Amino acid sequence: MIKFIIRRSLGLVPLLLLVVVFSFLLMKAAPGGPEAQFQGNKKISQVQIDAWLKRWCLQPTDANTPILEQVGNYFVEFGGWFGILNCNRSGSQAFFSDSGGLNVLPPALGGGSNGVIHGDLGYGIQSGRPVTEIIAERIPATFILAFTALVLWVSIAIVLGVYAAIHRYSLFDQTVTFLSYIFYSLPTFWLGLNLIFIFGVALRWFPTGGIITTRDWSPFNTPQYWQQFGANPGAATLDIGRHLFLPVLTLVAVNIAGDSRFVRASMLESINQDYVRTARAKGLRNRVVVGKHALRNAMLPVVTNVALEIPFLFSGAIVTETIFNWPGMGRLFIDSIGGKDYFVIMGLLLVTAIITLFANLIADVVYAIVDPRIRYD
C-alpha cells in the first residue's frame, strides 16, 4: 500500500504541471492581459509595469513571431514563472539563479525564489499582497463549511439509502425517493435564496450571510479574532454555528438527494448477491449481514462519488458562498474573476487541482479498506 501511495503521488506531479501550464496560457490569452489592471492606476508608471512584467516573465510576445516560436516562448516564460528557469537570463544561464546556483533549488541552496516550485504564487493585482497569504486567509472558512456539510450529508445519505434499500417499496422508501427527486432538481441558488427569505428575513432565526456577527467579533481569521475565540470559545462557536446553518442546509439538501440514491441502488445490488444469501443461510443476524457484508461492498460507488464531490466543496461551493457572503475560496474566486486578478485565479486553480488529485488518491486507498478483494502491489 505504501509503495502504491508513493507511486501515485509521484504520478500526480506531471498532472499538476499541466494544470499550471494551461492556467498560465489561459491567463496570457485573456483580453488585455494582467498588465491592463494597472493602466487606470495613476500612481503606477509604465516603467514600473514593465518591471513587474519582466519579474513575472510576462513580457508581451510580438504578434509577428511564428506560432511555434510563440508556443516555445510561452513554455520558457512558464518555466520562469514555475521556477525552473530564470526568464531574466538567456541561453544556458537561464537555468541558474542570480546567486549562481540552479534556479530550481531552494533559495537557501543558492536557487531562485520566483515561481510556484518555490511556493511563490505571485501577488494579487488588486491588493498587492502575496497570493499564498490571500488564499490562506480564506481556507479556514471554506474548510469549516465544506467539512461540516460533507460529514452531515454523507452520514445521512448512507443511513437513508441503506434503510430505503432494506425496506424497498415501503412508505419510507417512497417518501425518500419523492423528496430526493424534488431536492435534486432544485437549483442551488434558488434553494439558498428561499432559505434566506424564510429563516433569515421572515422568521429571523438565522443570519442571512457572513461567518460571524461583525458587531460582536473582530474580522474572522485575524489574530484579534482568535484571541477573542480563545477567551470565549463557546459563544464564538455558537455564533459560527448560527451563520453556518443555512449554507450547510443548502449544500446538504441538494447533495444528499443524489447520494442517497447512489447508496440505495448500490445496496440493492449488493444484498442480492450470493455471498449475502450465504451469510443469511449461515444464520448470521441481519445487522451483521447488512453492516459487515452488504454495506462494505455497496460503498465502492459511493466512495467514487464522494471523491468527485470533495473538490467541489473545498474549492468553495462557489454559488453557495456567493449567496451567503461566505468569506471562503469560492467567494474569492468570483471576486478575482470580476477584478481580473489573474494570479489569484491561477493560485485557486492550482489549489483546486491539488485537492482533486488528493481526493482521488484517498478514494483509491479507501477502496482497499472497504473491499478486501482490492490489493495494490
Cα 276–Cα 281–Cα 282 angle in degrees, nearest 5? 100
Which positions ≥6 away from 171 have C-beta within 8 Å?
A: none
* 177-200 confidence digits (pLDDT tens): 888 888 888 888 888 888 999 998
Q: Is the pTM of this model over 0.85?
A: no
Distance of CA 8 to the CA centre of its chain: 20
Which positions ≥6 away from 20 have C-beta within 8 Å?
A: 78, 82, 116, 346, 350
* Sign of the alpha-carbon dihedral angle for 200, 206, 210, 216: positive
Reported as a pLDDT band with limits 50, 70 and 90, residue 238 is: very high
**Architecture of the domain made up of 131-370:** Orthogonal Bundle (1.10)
Please give the grid coordinates belonging to residue 365: 486507498
Start-to-end C-alpha separation, the chain: 7
* 111-170 confidence digits (pLDDT tens): 777 777 777 777 787 777 888 888 888 888 888 888 898 888 888 988 888 888 888 888
Q: Residue 284: is its pLDDT beyond 60?
A: yes
Residue-wise DSSP of 276-317: HHHHHHTT--HHHIIIIIIHHHHHHHHHHHHHHHHHHHHTTT
Strand partners, 96: 102
pLDDT-wise least confident of 77-81, 93-97, 147-151: 77-81
Which positions ≥6 away from 211 have C-beta within 8 Å?
A: 141, 144, 220, 240, 243, 244, 326, 327
* 3-29 confidence digits (pLDDT tens): 777 777 777 778 877 877 777 777 767
Query: Which residue, among 250, 237, 253, has the nearest Cα to 209 in the 3D structure?
Result: 250
pLDDT-wise least confident of 81-90, 224-233, 294-303: 81-90
Please give the grid coordinates belonging to residue 234: 463557546
* 307-322 confidence digits (pLDDT tens): 777 777 776 578 888 8
Output the furthest CA–CA distance in the chain (Å, rounded): 83
d(Cα 149, Cα 136) in Å, to the nearest integer?
A: 21
pLDDT-wise least confident of 66-80, 112-126, 270-284, 345-359: 66-80
Categorise residue 312: left if φ over 0, alpha if ψ from -120 to 50, beta otherwise. alpha
Which positions ≥6 away from 219 have C-beta within 8 Å?
A: 225
Please give the grid coordinates belonging to residue 180: 430526493
3-state secondary structure of 119: coil
Domain boundaries, the chain: 24-118, 131-370
Please give the grid coordinates belonging to residue 214: 461583525
Q: Residue 93: is its pLDDT beyond 70?
A: no
Mean predicted confidence (pLDDT) in 265-294: 76
Which positions ≥6 away from 303 have C-beta within 8 Å?
A: 363, 366, 367, 370
What pLDDT is stored for residue 92 in this prediction?
63
